[in-house]
Amino acid sequence: MALDKPAIFPWQSALWQRLMGMRDRLPHAFLLHGRQGVGKLAFAQAMAASLLCESPQPDGVACGACLSCGWLAQGNHPDFRQVEPEDRSEGDDEAGEGSAPKAKKKSRFITVDQIRALGDLVGLSSHRHGLRVIILQPAETLNANAANALLKVLEEPPPATAFILLTHQLQRLLPTILSRCHKVAMPVPNKDESLAWLRAQGLADPAFGLAFTGGTPLAALEADTVEVREEVESLTQHLKKGGRIDALSVGWARGDFATAIDILQKWMYDLSSLILAGSVRYFPEHQSTLQGIAKSVDLPRLLDFQRTLAEARAQASHPLNVELQLEALLLRYAQLFPSPARP
């Protein structure tokens, strides 16, 4: 696997210095944990590049010019692996999800075979000057057998091998794995840092994406496309009407059901958050409209609708008829407002 562009983001520089100070007494396993979209993977890859580099710079950053850096950039470093859920074909998902799909798709799990395959790496002597680095992400996708296999490796750590585990959901990892890792909480940039960084990446109006993705800059950068803006704009225009929405006129030409569900879930989150906590997270620009329609909302129905959306999201990857399903959801949305919304 080729490394994209290992990067240390501004909000990570203090952490970077701290970890570089540990180079000479490296733990066998790091566990980087934190929210999605704060740059965990890029940071882990920068660490891997640094640890494998033959002449790192004074601040520890990989030189980018040595043989090892070249191998990493080309994706064929013999002492490096990045383990994550793989594309699978029929029948090779041992997690037992029941009906194995015929089409090739991304597995939801890291399998025990993937962990066993690491034995080939750590069992041999390393190709260069000693260290091998394994990134494993996200660690919450290890299925039970894979987690146990990894645990065995971590209990008797192979020499000169650094594991870097990543997780968005620390609470889903086995305590026995947690206890074998040096845990590192990945910093979350504050809003001003995020906005400044997004502006530096060339976004003219970074506040939109940052709010829409819940405040993490990398997710914001990815989400802030013309298409997403148009979809958000198009659907929220209708949702703003509350009980007066005309569900049959919405249309959804693009047909991306997952995006529609995402927008709906965030809209409902803000609506319930306004009622229960008096604040919004995703649509600050529509706060006053949300306040208006929140006055006539039936809260139990709203909470019930949120559960329906969560179920719809689980099936969002292969709906039969996107437009029909969305219409059905929006008809239910209209019923959340038993009395007409006051403007």
Residues lying near Zn ion in the complex (CB under 5 A)? 53, 62-63, 66, 69
CB of 177 to Zn ion, least distance (A): 31
CB of 180 to Zn ion, least distance (A): 29
CB of 56 to Zn ion, least distance (A): 7
User: Looking at beta carbons only, is 53 or 293 nearer to Zn ion?
Assistant: 53
Nearest to residue 141, comparing CAs of 111, 179, 185, 103?
111
Q: Is the sign of the CA dihedral 151, 154, 157, 161 positive or negative? A: positive
CB of 57 to Zn ion, least distance (A): 9
CB of 22 to Zn ion, least distance (A): 19
Residues sharing a CB contact under 8 Å with residue 290, sequence separation 6 or more, in sequence order: 270, 271, 274, 280, 283
User: Looking at beta carbons only, is 3 or 69 nearer to Zn ion?
Assistant: 69
Nearest to residue 311, comparing CAs of 297, 290, 293, 325?
325
The count of residues in the chain is 343
DSSP annotation string for 281-341: SS-GGGHHHHHHHHTT--HHHHHHHHHHHHHHHHTTTS-S-HHHHHHHHHHHHHTT-SSPP
User: Looking at beta carbons only, is 53 or 250 nearer to Zn ion?
Assistant: 53
User: Looking at beta carbons only, is 69 or 223 nearer to Zn ion?
Assistant: 69
User: Looking at beta carbons only, is 50 or 141 nearer to Zn ion?
Assistant: 50
